[in-house]
Every structure is written in C-alpha cells, then in structure tokens.
Structure 1
Amino acid sequence: MAVAVSIEPAALAAAPGEAAQATVSVRNDTGIVEEYRLHALGPGGEYVTLAPDLVSVYPGRTETVVVTVLVPRSSAVPAGELDVAIQVTPVIAPAGTEDADVPRTTEPEVVEFVIRVEEFAAVGAEIVPKVSRSRGRKRVRLAVDNNGNTPTAAALVGAGTERLRVIPRDPEVLIDAGHAQFVRVTLSPRRRVWRGQAVSHPYSVTVTPASGDPLVVDGIHMQDPVFPSWFWKALLALAALIALLILLWNLLLKPTVEQTARDAVKEPLAEVQGQAQDAQKTADGAQQTADEAKAAAGSGGGTSTPPPAPPQPTSEDQTYTLTVTAGKGKNATSSVPAIPDGSALQITDLVFNNPQGDVATLQLAYGQKVLLSLSTENYRDLDLHFVTPIQVPSGQTLQARLNCIAPGQPTGRTPDNCVSSVLITGTLVTPPPAG
C-alpha cells in the first residue's frame, strides 16, 4: 500500500452550532514526495471542513489534516449518527517526474468516521391573535413551534384572572422536529358585562417542554358589553317613533279607515242579506215538500231499505326487527316473511341502529328495488317516519342488506364483524274479497 490513512477519533460527538475536531493522518510509504488531495463524502460530508485539503508528504513521513465538523443548529439536521468518509487521492505527477523503481498507485484510500449529532431543544410559542375581543366566550389559537432537532412533548397550562378562565383544549402536545402544532384555547369570562366600557382581561399560557425552561406566552382579551352605548339611545328613539305612529293612527288614520270601510261594505252587505233571505225561503219550501213526501210514503205502508255498505279492506299492524351481522369486506342479508298474496305491507316507521359505529352500507330493499341506502358511519340511532307509507307489494320479501367495510371501535374491545339492526313498523293491508 503506497499510502496509509487513519483518523482519530473514529466517532465524533457534535453539538449543533459548535465546532468539533478530529485529525486525519496521511503516511507516504513510497520512495518519492507525494501530494494527496482530501475530500469529505457521505451524508455528513457537507458539515466537514478539511485544513489543508491538499498535503505534500515526504517518503516515510506522516502529515496530519485537521477535520472540523460544524453541524448547524437547525431542526433540518435531526439528532443521531451521520456517516462521513474521508477520501485521500494521490495527485498524479507530471510526465517525466515519476521514478520507475518506486511502486505508485492512483487509487484513493478511504477512511470512515461517524458524527454523533447531539440533541437540542428550542421551543417557541405565540397566541393568535394576541389581542382578542368578544361579548362572551372566545377561542384563540396557541402556535407551539419545535425548532429543535428531536420530537418533544410540552405541557400547556392556562392562567387567567378572577374574571377570566383560560382552558387549553389539549393539556399536553407532542411536536415533531421542525414542525408547529396549533392548540385551541378557550377564553371564558366568568360573568357578562351588560353595559359601559369594554373590560380588559390579561392572561397567559405556560408552555413547559420535556427538556428546557418553561415559556410563558401573554395575551389580552377585551370583553365588550352586551349592550353597546348606542343601544339605549336607539331604543328610546324607537319607543318615541312607535308612540308617534300610534298617536297618528288614533287621531287621523283610524277614523278615516273605519268610515271608508263602512261605506264600502254597506251596499254589498244589503245585497247579501237579501240573497240570504231568498235562500232561506227556498230551503223552507224544500223542507216542506220533503215532509209531505215522507208523510205520503208512510201512509202507503211501504218501507225503504238503505243499500248495503261496500265491503272494506282489512288491516293488521305489523312490527319486524331485522339484525344483520357481516365480517369485514363481506355482505349479509336478513329478511321478513314474504308478503301474502293479495296483501301489501305499508311501512310508516323505521328505526336504524349502529351500536358499534361500523363503517358499512345498509340497504332496505325487495327484489331489485332498493327502498333506502344508508352509510352507517353517519349515525348510531336513526328514526325515519313517513306520512305517505312505503309500499311492499304482495309476494315480495323485504330484506336488510349489509355490506361491511370496517367494524367500529367500541370501548374496551375490537369487534370482528359489523352489526346493524332495523325496527320496521307498518300495516299489512288485505283488500276485501271480490263479488
């Protein structure tokens, strides 16, 4: 081997933003003076500086190169290990200067070492908006930034006044390196301001990261009065206007309107009264004629039989409960008894139940006709009532068809199947026999 390369130390701890150094030793085992160029390669090579990067080494001697590692203090460089390779390449001598008796090589030598990037924490926070206002409760957002190079957890605690409660929605958050998380913070005044000037409520939210010092973020909430200052003036003006309108109505408009109405209906009213008297006379005559005809029929000894009432259809209340169970990605069906010939089922009420919160499609159908198609993830309990009943004709079988996409996640267990049920209430109507 014409050149021997080594590095000390083989693993270098680097704190982001602070320089760390290692040493590369280059030994020339040839019989002539050699020059060697050094390059840093690998994932961590961009953070390495070599001084010098070109060295001249006498035969049998060793030269050293200082390796300076400076990892930026940024979330873009995560904590952990970065591999670096230092490539040492002999510089080809000009033609005619080589010594033919000395073995030389142009193949580079490579020595590797590891940069261990240490963790650092940098958490920032900001309330948006910093100054908020409302008459009652108000929601603002707390932006928590993780500018460190490793995920970090942070606890959130709100601090208000005796007149304002500060409640973060999430008491603890986990933020990835280089990311920000927004947390909703509810500002809840303890009592309302009915009138007067807006009241200022200073408050704060303390962000305590898992490592590092707590960070206190301040904000101000302006609580406006329920009734603004102009409200009472507007209310008095409105009351005065209403009183003026009532006075104008009673003194000027009402007498004129009443007289005009009496004049307008006087003639039509007299005509209507005459028509009513004529109609009464006609009705009295018709009643007298009917009484005479009835008396004549009674004296003749005859009797009349009223026609029989037409037969009426019969009806019977029916209630069915269909429960369907299907495995993930599978279909299942549950049916009610077939509708008897000559009858029809009139459905007036449906109650659907999805107890597990399954993601599935449930159809209520008969034959090729689909009456309803529901996505079960949209409800746990669903009531449907119909003024015009749904008709299921005779000979058909009403079915509940379930297509299971994913079972729900009820508390304490993970089911294997989707389960849905439907309660059907209606009337079985049978027409009267013919003839």
Structure 2
Amino acid sequence: MPLHIRNDGEIVEEYKLEVVGPSGPWSEVVPGLVSLYPGQDATASVEFRPPRSAAVQAGEFLYGVQVLPTEHPEEAVVPEGVLSLLPFYETTAELMPRTSRGRFGALHRLAVDNRGNIPIAVTLTGTDPGEMLDMGLPEEALTVEPGTVQFAHVRIRPVRKIWRGMSATHPFAITATPTDGPPVVLDGTYLQEPILPAWITKAAIALLALAVGLFAAWQLLFKPAVEATAKAAVQDSVNQAGQSASEAATKASEASAGAADAGVAAQSAGEAATSAATSAEKASQAAGNPPQPEIVSSIAKRLEVESAAGASSSAPFVFDNPTGVLKLTDLVLNNPQGDFGRLRLELDGVPLLDMALENFRDMDYHFLTPVRVTAGQSLTLTMSCNRVGSPPDQAAPPQCKSAAFLSGTITIPNPSSAQQ
C-alpha cells in the first residue's frame, strides 16, 4: 500500500513511519524514516506479510500508519486503512489406531485438525472394499475452529461372525471432507478373530480322553475291587447266619430234654428280646430325630432417627421376649445425606458405638463375639445433629436423618428337649 508524505512546513523535517494496530507485528513501512525539505514530498510503501497460520484468522483488519515528525511531534498524524485477509484451508486428520483386532468389533478414534485460518465443518464417511464391515460414524458434521482439534469415535463391527478357524483381515477407509478444501482419506485395517479360540478343540479332545480314561479305570480296576469286597461281606453275613442257626438248633434240642429248663430259657429269652427291642427303639429315635436343646430364629430390626440442627433424638428397641436371648451379630450404619454430628448405640445406657457422622455414609460391622441382649434390656440409637448435610444434585433437606439396621438370632429353650 503506497503512503504519500508532504512537508508543508518551513523547516527540514524528518518523519518516523510505523504501522499500528492488530496487523503491526506482521507489517512494515519501507523506508521507516523519511527526511523532507519544505514543500517536498515522498512516497513510502506499507508492506503486509501475514503468516500462514491459524493464529491469524481471516477477516478485515483496521490499521494505521503513525507519521511522527522529529522536530514537531505534536503534529503527528495517523492515516488509517482496512486490510482484508483472505482465508486459506489446511485440514489434516489421524486415525488411532490404524490397525485393530477383536471378535465382535473394535473402537477407533479420529482426530481432525484445522490448521487453516477459518472455521470448517467436516463430514465423515466410511467405505470398505468387501462390504464386510458396519462402521458407526457421527451423523452430524464436526465443527473445527482454527488451530483446534476435534475428536470422533469410529466403531467397527463385522457383518458376519467367524465362529472358528482363521482370522480375517478387513481393510477400510475413513474420508474426512471439509466444507472447503480437499478431502482427507485415512486407511485402516480391522483383524476379525474367531469367536471360538483355536485351543478349544484340543481342550475338548483332552477332556474326552480324560473321561474315557476314568471310565476305563473304573471298569478295569475299581469296579472289580468293589464287587469283590461286597461279595466277601455278604458271604461273611451268610456264614454268621448259618452258624447262628446251628447254635439255635442245638439249644432247641437241649431244651426238648427238659420242659422246665426250656420254660426258664424261653422266659429269659423273651425278656432279653423285649430289652433289646426297647434299646433299638430308643437308638432309632436318637438317630432319626435327635432332641434339640434350643430353638434359634433370625431377627432384623431397623432404627431410624431424625433431628433438626442443634438438637438430638433417639430411637429405642426393647427386647421383650421373656425366655429368649438376642445375639446381635451384624450392624449397618447409614448416613445418606452426609450430615455432621454424632451417632451412638447404647445397651441399657452402656455405649456400644460412638461415631462422627461426617466420617461415613454407609458402614458395616460384623461381631465375631455376638452382643447378648436379654429380656427387658433396651438398645437405643441416639443422633446429635450439628449441621444438616447437602446431597449432590438435590434440594437441601430440612433435618438430619440416620438409621441403623440390626440383625442377629434369638435363642429360646426347647420344651420338648427338657421333657426328654
């Protein structure tokens, strides 16, 4: 841009020339210093050298040239102008990773980089030569500002599954097409693996061989030994039965020799049989239905307390079973709102637990040695609220709220066991 300068003064003047405004860093006046006699004029050149960079976006730039006289700086002037910077396009893209593998599909990331000086809209399309892939791409165009990067997910799925055999290689291409400028084509490869791995056949054969081996070992080794042992046991029982029958015949022959002796022997045998039957019946009852000394049942109880800030409240639980014993084995404390304060659990005024509410939301205790509670004793849950908590994404609750879940067993003596 030419700049015309004239000295209308009465003395020799030297003028310092400098471009001011946003274009100053990449603008220059040549020459930058001009000396003129009165009535003399000269022409300088304002040169603009905008960098090819996304840091300088396309559009109109206001600029001014400061003409500063050395002798009379108060007479400085700043002629102004407008520079229209034209757009340029430079779009790059990258597919990460270039090669993927999987049985049911894979996920890629696509990065689109706008190195130009104007925003662009980029549409994504995908193709594969064999039409064996289903490619999930964003339906809407990506808007990329100058000097920035936009990312998109590309999901690759095979059209047909490979159950077993060799893996298959599927090449594909993703095309990023900007509104202005040449499209960018990115090549990728998807390695489709079989669903059933190659070692599954060998494993099935090995399992089948193991089953056949175990069956053969049973038929050839273990089964004959078991049958021989069973036959020997049966033969021993038969021999013992024959011996018992022979002894019974001998006793019967001896009994026939004297009626009196036989009657006494018969009476003794009857008493012995009755005693044996009674003993057998008691043994059968003991083996089939052994008496239980006590009855055990489960119990679960939830205690809830609510209190305003600066106040306290309690929730008691009185165990009123006159014959049973409560064995407390598990305790779950709950502070859903994140309140601040203290929570105490007492047994007849004796503290079992005393905790700060701000230290937990949910806490689980399991007692290796159960806490015993007898009839008439009271478990009391007491909460002292200092400040009401504020759960995320919820309205502030009006008061503190906590709870305790008690579980265990109740043991009661069995009356039938006492009678037996």
The TM-score, its normalising length taken from structure 2, stands at: 0.56
The answer as to 2:211 corresponding to 1:225 is no
**How many angstroms does 1:138 deviate by?**
0.9
Gaps of 5+ in 2: 230-274, 279-292, 321-325, 345-353, 413-420
Letter in 2 for 1:122: E
RMSD of the TM alignment (CA)?
A: 5.4
Helix, strand or coil for the counterpart of 1:75? coil
CA spacing shift, 1:68–1:185, aligned 2, 3 Å: same
d(CA) in 2 for partners of 1:31, 1:391: 115
Q: 1:182 aligns with which of 121, 130, 151?
A: 151
Count how many residue pairs are aligned between Structure 1 and Structure 2: 323
More deviation in 56-65 or 209-218?
209-218
Equivalent residue for 2:76? 109
**How many angstroms does 1:187 deviate by?**
1.0
Bigger share in helix? 2
Larger Rg: 2
d(CA) in 2 for partners of 1:209, 1:370: 60
Letter in 2 for 1:64: T
Indicate the percent of aligned positions where both proteins have the same amino acid. Answer: 29
d(CA) in 2 for partners of 1:60, 1:105: 16
The answer as to 2:330 corresponding to 1:361 is no
Letter in 2 for 1:404: S
Helix, strand or coil for the counterpart of 1:404? coil
Summarize the alignment of residues 7-406 of structure 1 with structure 2, pairs less than 5 Å apart: 22-79=1-58, 82=61, 84-90=63-69, 104-105=71-72, 109-111=76-78, 112-159=80-127, 162-168=131-137, 171-209=140-178, 215-227=184-196, 234=202, 238=206, 242=210, 318-319=301-302, 337-339=314-316, 361=338, 366-367=343-344, 369-370=355-356, 373-374=359-360, 388=367, 394-398=379-383, 402-404=388-390
d(CA) in 2 for partners of 1:315, 1:429: 4
**How many angstroms does 1:148 deviate by?**
2.5
d(CA) in 1 for partners of 2:195, 2:83: 63
**How many angstroms does 1:26 deviate by?**
1.6
Letter in 1 for 2:157: S
**How many angstroms does 1:65 deviate by?**
1.8
The TM-score, its normalising length taken from structure 1, stands at: 0.54
CA spacing shift, 1:54–1:172, aligned 2, 3 Å: same
d(CA) in 2 for partners of 1:207, 1:426: 62
Residues 155 and 209 of structure 1 are in contact (CA less than 8 Å); yes or no, is this contact kept in structure 2? yes
Deviation track 1:282-313 (CA, whole Å, cap 9, x = no partner) reads xxxxxx9xx9xxxxxxxxxxxxxxxxx99x9x
**How many angstroms does 1:76 deviate by?**
1.8
Residues 94 and 112 of structure 2 are in contact (CA less than 8 Å); yes or no, is this contact kept in structure 1? yes
CA spacing shift, 1:320–1:396, aligned 2, 3 Å: closer
CA spacing shift, 1:249–1:385, aligned 2, 3 Å: same
CA spacing shift, 1:216–1:365, aligned 2, 3 Å: farther
**How many angstroms does 1:195 deviate by?**
3.5
CA spacing shift, 1:320–1:339, aligned 2, 3 Å: closer
Gaps of 5+ in 1: 1-21, 92-103, 263-287, 292-308, 325-330, 355-359, 376-381, 409-414
Residues 28 and 62 of structure 1 are in contact (CA less than 8 Å); yes or no, is this contact kept in structure 2? yes
